[in-house]
Structure 1
Amino acid sequence: MFKGLGQLGDMAKMMQQAKEMQGRVVQLQEELKTIVVTGESGAGLVKATATAKGELTGIDIDPSIFVPSEKEVAEDLILAAIKDAQAKASQRAETEMKKLSEELGLPTDMKLPF
């Protein structure tokens, strides 16, 4: 009649683990806001800084690229630096998520919410 009540403890344990995982994911999302990555182009003439969440926070441009006849080159360098920073932010977020998955004993290719 009471067969299977032993599994209630397993369910409670699973619920606790799920709650812990949710808390860790929220914590990681907050940490990603403080991790800074820098993308660059033109051998460092243009640098873009972003958080690991992908938010652009700054740009540093060497004044030597401001030649009126080279306007398109400057624009391309700026765009390339921003794209590089965004790509690095995405890679860093993925790396941090894989670390968390490993810590929680989950498959590293499991997509957790971001």
Structure 2
Amino acid sequence: MRDIMGMMGKVKEMQAKMESVQAEIAALDIEGKSGGGLVVVRLNGKGEMLGLKVDPSLFKEDEVEILEDLIIAAHKDAKEKGEAIAQEKMAGLTAGIPLPPGMKLPF
């Protein structure tokens, strides 16, 4: 019976840590760039866009497709950075827990 109580205590402790890490991740401000910094996208840890900066030199009618591609690339850069940070933070939390390969927390 003590083992079950001890395990339940560890589960509650891990839940509290998980909530803390999730809040920390959500509060992140991640910057992605493309075109050598001509386009900058800011995302929070949830992947929601916080800001977009576009260098005025890109506002040319015949370069609209290039601008669109640069915005997408900057968003992708920020999203990948955010996912890497989140994975790193969660790795510390899940250390010592035998999860199957490819399984991510939170479920």
Give the TM-score normalised by the residue count of structure 2.
0.88
Question: Percent of pairs identical after alignment?
Answer: 43
5+ unaligned residues in a row in structure 1: which ranges?
1-7
Map of 1:11 onto structure 2: 4
Give the 3-state SS of the residue equivalent to 1:69 in structure 2: helix
Aligned partners of 2:60 and 2:5: how far apart in 1? 66
Q: Which residue is equivalent to 1:100?
A: 93
| Separation in structure 2 between the aligned mates of residue 76 and residue 62 of structure 1, nearest angstrom | 14
Supply the distance in 2 between the matched residues of 1:107 and 1:47 (Cα, whole angstroms).
39
Deviations 1:30-56 (A, max 9, x none): 111211111110011001111122121
Counterpart amino acid of residue 35 in structure 1: L
Choose from 14, 22, 35 the match for 1:42. Answer: 35
Structure 1 CA distance, aligned partners of 2:76 and 2:5? 45
Q: Deviations over 1:65-113 (max 9, x none)?
A: 11111111111111111111111111111111002223xx324866221
User: Are 1:75 and 2:85 matched, yes or no?
Assistant: no
Report how many aligned residue pairs link the two structures: 105
Q: What is the aligned counterpart of 1:56 among 46, 49, 56?
A: 49
Q: CA deviation at 1:21?
A: 0.6
Greater C-alpha radius of gyration: 1
What is the CA–CA distance in structure 2 between the aligned matches of 1:48 and 1:20, rounded to whole Å? 36
Residue 86 of structure 1 pairs with residue 61 of structure 2: no
The question of whether the paired residues in 2 share the 8 Å contact of 1:53 and 1:90 is answered with no
Amino acid at match of 1:59: L
Q: Distance in 1 between matches of 2:15 and 2:42?
A: 29
- AA aligned to 2:39 is V
